[in-house]
Chain A
Amino acid sequence: GAGVSQTPSNKVTEKGKYVELRCDPISGHTALYWYRQSLGQGPEFLIYFQGTGAADDSGLPNDRFFAVRPEGSVSTLKIQRTERGDSAMYLCASSPTGGGGDTQYFGPGTRLTVL
């Protein structure tokens, strides 16, 4: 079946602009995660959704970052007033239930470049 998809694959924006990154999880997966990966680093957790609700948003770096999942499927990561330091690969993952040992399946990512 289809895996996790993310759009766009690349996004270039100017400092101060607003961006939205979209994630389509595997159908039926209730758990959805966002991570951010800077060059040469491992992914860092941003936020975890269980269904429609954000169960853990402890990784969001500041209030410019916000994510929604209104119908418990597609999720959008929103970044306001982008800064050059926001440039990174943004990864989305989904898992069947979010239970212990559940495999997180990752999408190909959106590479965000802030000029």
Chain B
Amino acid sequence: GEDVEQSLFLSVREGDSSVINCTYTDSSSTYLYWYKQEPGAGLQLLTYIFSNMDMKQDQRLTVLLNKKDKHLSLRIADTQTGDSAIYFCAASGGPGAKLIFGQGTELSVKP
């Protein structure tokens, strides 16, 4: 079955860019998602990308997809302390399909 992997920790300075990486194994994954989880809060969808796209930009967020290498990244420009959270990459095979999550990357933003 699908396996999604992420690095566990990332630490950046406020104002720098953050890049969170994710790899997945199932080439039939149709949709790839980034969720944010803050302590005591539910999962918040940040953005998603369809597998026929290479890039998607939404304000400070840029998602890059390399289908050949099955690699997904999330870039956060001008990272703020409020961006400190755990970021989850998730893959889905299509309609009604369950989300397969990575183990999450804890982003720490230092002032």
Binding site for B on A (CB under 8 A): 4, 31, 33, 35, 40-45, 48, 50, 55-56, 59, 91, 93, 98-109
| Closest-CB distance, B44 to chain A (whole angstroms) | 8
| Closest-CB distance, A109 to chain B (whole angstroms) | 6
Question: Contacts of A42 on B, CB cut-off 8 Å?
Answer: 4, 88, 90, 101-104
Tell me, in angstroms, the Cα distance from A109 to B43 when the chains sit together.
9
Chain B 44-90 residues near chain A, CB threshold 8 A:
44-45, 48, 50, 88, 90
Tell me, in angstroms, the Cα distance from A60 to B48 when the chains sit together.
26
Question: Contacts of A48 on B, CB cut-off 8 Å?
Answer: 96, 98
- A100-B31, A101-B48 given as contacts; is B42 within 8 A of A45 (CB)? no
Tell me, in angstroms, the Cα distance from A91 to B30 when the chains sit together.
23
| Closest-CB distance, B32 to chain A (whole angstroms) | 11
Q: Is B19 engaged at the interface, CB distance under 8 Å to the other chain?
A: no
| Closest-CB distance, A72 to chain B (whole angstroms) | 15
The closest CB in chain B to the CB of A47 belongs to B98
The contact string, 1 if C-beta is below 8 Å from chain A, for chain B 9-22, is: 00000000000000
| Closest-CB distance, A99 to chain B (whole angstroms) | 5
Tell me, in angstroms, the Cα distance from A61 to B69 when the chains sit together.
32
| Closest-CB distance, A108 to chain B (whole angstroms) | 4
